[in-house]
Amino acid sequence: MPQVRLLAAPVLLALLLLAGCQRAPELYQDRMLAFGTLVDISLYGVTPEQGRAVSARLQQQFLAQQQAWNPWQPGALATLNAALAAGHGTTVDAQLAHLIARGRALAAASGDRFNPAIGNLIELWGFHRADSALPSAVPAPQAVDQALAQRPRMVDLQLDGLQVSSRNPAVQLDLGALAKGYAVDLALETLREMGVENALVNAGGDLRTLGRPGKRPWRIGIKNPREPGVLASLEVDAGESVFTSGDYERFFEHAGGRYHHILDPATGYPAGGVRSVTIVHDDAVTADAAATALFVAGPEAWPAVARAMDVRQVMLIDAQGRAQMTPAMAERIQFERQPAPPILIRPL
């Protein structure tokens, strides 16, 4: 009957539309505690079974890395540090060796503003343990000077394949400013291995993307915990990372002063003049290290260090609340807060 046939068309259309509704990029999300923070993973276009499998593997991976790279708990890095302090070398696994090598290269590029060798200084301040009592006081100036005088530097390390040794027994590695970046990069490798094409790994605010969530770029909100709400937003493309270092992450107050965990290796005291540094870069390890290095470099000198580390997209919020940024960052960042903070563009 022609009537029925004509009716079939809209019926089919309706069914197709309903079926289409289900086809929106399937999102699988999970979160896990690792590296002292909450790691969110978002996977697009996977079935729940695949999602669970990926999640389980990443969780295992993160926990293993956390243990291996935490110098303050028994593990591979702690063992290495003990050996270095005792004056002899030891063998490490490939990942740790790679991490140390990258750390050394980045330290050199940053003029040692990023210096993972100052574990002694960090321990002196008390920022190392996650659960110990807060430092009740600033360390004695003599102790700080003493630690500085020993000049622990990454160049003191000798890397021979998987063999690591040091000329300077004062070198104690704290890879905290690098480890999250490496964990995120390795997580992405695992995701690719497992056939995931579009995902986002967000380790407590430091993130990297894989592919795209559908046909659009990723929309990332930038917060400064000093203010409520979203400070700015960024459209991020496949494979880019966004890392931020801030003076609000770990700090303590004492006798009217505020002391945060990003120490300036040159002075031995927390770096001043900066509230936060946000870096956009392809590689998470570089982004992580650069965020620290530029923080230490300070509100005046940071562009030179950014140039040296080949990091083009930087936003630095200084102690006056001014947003300093590179032209490349200015092009893509959008401030959500009205009024927007004063902006200073600093070409590299």
Partner 1 sequence: MGNQKLETTPLQSSREDVRIAYLTALAIVIHIAESALPSPLPGVKPGLANIITIAVLCRFGWKMAAWVSLLRALVGSLLIGTFLSPTFFLSFAGALAAVAALAPANRLPGIGPIGLSVLASLAHMAAQFGVAYALFIPHPALLGLLPVLMTAALVLGLVNGRIAVSMLRQLESPNTSGKTPDNTA
Partner 2 sequence: MSRTDTVITILAALLVAALYWLLWQRGPAGSEASIWVAGQETMRVPLSVDRRLEVEGAVGRSVIEIADGAVRVLDSPGPRKICVRMGWLREAGDSAICLPNQVVVRIEGDQPRFDAMNF
Question: What whole-number distance in Å separates Cα of residue 246 and Cα of residue 266?
Answer: 19
CA count, 13 A, side-chain hemisphere, 51: 18
Q: Which of the stretches 2-10, 118-126, 128-136, 259-267 binds partner 1 when contact is defined by CB under 8 A? A: 2-10
Please, what is the minimum distance in Å from the beta carbon of residue 4 to partner 1?
9
Q: Which of the stretches 3-11, 235-243, 261-269, 321-329 binds partner 1 when contact is defined by CB under 8 A? A: 3-11
82 binds, among partner 1, partner 2, none (CB under 5 to 8 A by kind): none
The CA distances from residue 204 to 96, 180, 276, in Å, are 22, 10, 15
Binder among 2, 20, 257, 339 for partner 1 (CB under 8 A): 2
Residues that bind partner 2 (CB under 8 A): 3, 7, 10-11, 14, 18, 21, 31-33, 36-38, 40, 42, 130-134, 200, 202, 204-207, 213, 218-225, 228-230, 233-234, 242-244, 246, 250, 252, 278
Binders of partner 1 in range 155-214 (CB under 8 A): none
| End-to-end CA gap in the chain | 74
64 binds, among partner 2, partner 1, none (CB under 5 to 8 A by kind): none
Tally Cβ neighbours within 10 Å of residue 343.
13
Cα dihedral 37, 43, 46, 48 in deg (nearest 10):
30
Q: Which is nearer to partner 2, 234 or 263 (CB)?
A: 234
Q: Which is nearer to partner 2, 142 or 338 (CB)?
A: 338
Question: What whole-number distance in Å separates Cα of residue 94 and Cα of residue 76?
Answer: 11
Q: Does 7 bind partner 1 (CB under 8 A)?
A: yes
- In sequence order, the 6+-apart residues with CB closer than 8 A to the CB of 43 are 27, 28, 29, 50, 51, 54, 191, 196, 198, 199
Q: Which is nearer to partner 1, 2 or 256 (CB)?
A: 2
Amino acid, single-letter form, for residue 254: H
Q: For residue 262, report the phi and psi dihedrals to the nearest 5 degrees.
A: -90, 95
Q: Does 229 bind partner 1 (CB under 8 A)?
A: no
Q: For residue 337, report the phi and psi dihedrals to the nearest 5 degrees.
A: -90, 135
Count Cβ atoms within 10 A of the Cβ of residue 190 and give its class: 0-12 exposed, 13-18 middle, 19 or more buried: middle
340 binds, among partner 1, partner 2, none (CB under 5 to 8 A by kind): none
Please, what is the minimum distance in Å from the beta carbon of residue 3 to partner 1?
5
Amino acid, single-letter form, for residue 182: Y
Binders of partner 1 in range 9-28 (CB under 8 A): 10
2 binds, among partner 1, partner 2, none (CB under 5 to 8 A by kind): partner 1
Question: What whole-number distance in Å separates Cα of residue 148 and Cα of residue 137?
Answer: 19
Please, what is the minimum distance in Å from the beta carbon of residue 80 to partner 1?
50
Please, what is the minimum distance in Å from the beta carbon of residue 166 to partner 2?
31
Q: Which is nearer to partner 2, 185 or 206 (CB)?
A: 206
Q: Which is nearer to partner 2, 20 or 161 (CB)?
A: 20
Site size toward partner 1, by CB under 8 A: 5
